[in-house]
Amino acid sequence: MGMTITEKILAAHSGAKNVCPGDIINCRVDILLGNDITAPISIELFEKAGAKRVFNKEKIVFVPDHFAPNKDIQSAEQCKRLREFSRKHKIINYFEVGRMGIEHALLPEMGIVLPGDLIIGADSHTCTYGALGAFSTGIGSTDLAAAMINGKIWFKVPSTIKINLYGKLNRWVSGKDLILYIIGKIGVDGANYRSMEFCGEVIKNLNMDNRLTICNMAIEAGAKNGIIEPDKETLNYIKKKARRKYKMYKSDSDAKYEEILEFNCSRLEPQVSLPHSPENAQPVSEVGNIKIDQVVIGSCTNGRITDLIEAAKILKGKKVNPNVRLLVFPATQAVYKEALKKGLIDIFIDAEGVVSTPTCGPCLGGHMGVLAEGERAVATTNRNFVGRMGHTKSEIYLASPAVAAASAIMGRIASPEEVVGK
Partner 1 sequence: MKLRGNVFKYGDNINTDEIIPARYLNTSDPKILGKYCMEDIDRDFTKKVRHGDIIVAGRNFGCGSSREHAPIAIKAAGVSCVIAKSYARIFYRNSINTGLPILECSEAADEAEMADKFEVDLDRGIIKNLTKCKTYKSQPFPKFVQGIIRAGGLMKWVKAGERE
**C-alpha radius of gyration, the chain, whole number:** 20
Nearer to partner 1, 128 or 321 (CB): 128
C-alpha distance from residue 246 to each of 90, 105, 279, 379 (Å): 24, 19, 35, 35
Q: How far apart are CA 359 and CA 274, in angstroms?
A: 24
Nearer to partner 1, 345 or 364 (CB): 364
CB 52 within 8 A of CB 88: no
Per CB under 8 A, contacts with partner 1 among 141-180 are 141-143, 145-146
Could you tell me the smallest distance in angstroms from the CB atom of residue 336 to partner 1?
24
Could you tell me the smallest distance in angstroms from the CB atom of residue 289 to partner 1?
28
Give the x/- contact pattern for partner 1 in 39-78, rule: CB under 8 A: -xx--xx--xxx---------------xx---xx-xx--x
Tell me the longest C-alpha to C-alpha distance in the chain.
Answer: 62
Nearer to partner 1, 2 or 140 (CB): 140
Query: How far is C-alpha 178 from the geometric centre of its chain's CA atoms?
Result: 14
Could you tell me the smallest distance in angstroms from the CB atom of residue 405 to partner 1?
26
Provide the 3-class DSSP secondary structure of residue 348: helix
Q: Which range touches partner 1 (CB under 8 A), out of 101-109, 309-317, 362-370, 406-414? A: 362-370
Of the residues 6, 86, 126, 210, which one makes contact with partner 1 according to CB under 8 A: 126
Nearer to partner 1, 120 or 406 (CB): 120
Could you tell me the smallest distance in angstroms from the CB atom of residue 79 to partner 1?
10
Pairing of strands 152-156, 24-28: antiparallel
Query: Is 363 annotated to bind ligand?
Result: yes
Under 8 Å CB-to-CB from 167, ≥6 apart: which residues?
A: 201, 202, 264, 265, 266, 267, 268
Sheet containing strand 354-355, edge to edge, reads 281-283, 271-273, 395-398, 376-379, 294-297, 325-328, 354-355
CB 228 within 8 A of CB 133: yes
Q: Which residues of 33-46 are buried (b: 16+ CB within 10 A; e: fewer)?
A: bbbbbbbbbbbebb
Nearer to partner 1, 39 or 169 (CB): 39
Could you tell me the smallest distance in angstroms from the CB atom of residue 92 to partner 1?
24
Exposed, middle or buried: residue 310 (CB in 10 Å: 0-12, 13-18, 19+)? buried
Of 312, 309, 284, the C-alpha closest to 184 is 284
Written in H, E and C, the secondary structure of 79-91 is HHHHHHHHHHCCC
Secondary structure letter of residue 122 according to DSSP: S
Of the residues 58, 84, 189, 262, which one makes contact with partner 1 according to CB under 8 A: 189
Could you tell me the smallest distance in angstroms from the CB atom of residue 384 to partner 1?
10
Per CB under 8 A, contacts with partner 1 among 261-320 are 277
CB atoms within 10 A of CB 420: 18
Nearer to partner 1, 101 or 190 (CB): 190
Nearer to partner 1, 382 or 407 (CB): 382
Q: Is 178 left (phi over 0), alpha (psi -120 to 50) or beta?
A: alpha
Could you tell me the smallest distance in angstroms from the CB atom of residue 219 to partner 1?
8
Query: Is 300 annotated to bind ligand?
Result: yes
Give the x/- contact pattern for partner 1 in 381-420, rule: CB under 8 A: --x-xxxx---x----------------------------
Of the residues 7, 30, 103, 123, which one makes contact with partner 1 according to CB under 8 A: 123
Per CB under 8 A, contacts with partner 1 among 78-107 are 78
38 touching partner 1, by CB under 8 A: yes
C-alpha torsion 111→216→205→194, nearest 10 = 110
Could you tell me the smallest distance in angstroms from the CB atom of residue 278 to partner 1?
10
Binding-site members for [4Fe-4S] cluster are 300, 360, 363
- List of residues contacting partner 1 (CB under 8 A): 37-38, 40-41, 44-45, 48-50, 66-67, 71-72, 74-75, 78, 121-124, 126, 138-143, 145-146, 188-189, 192-193, 219, 222, 224, 277, 364-366, 383, 385-388, 392
Binding-site members are 300, 360, 363
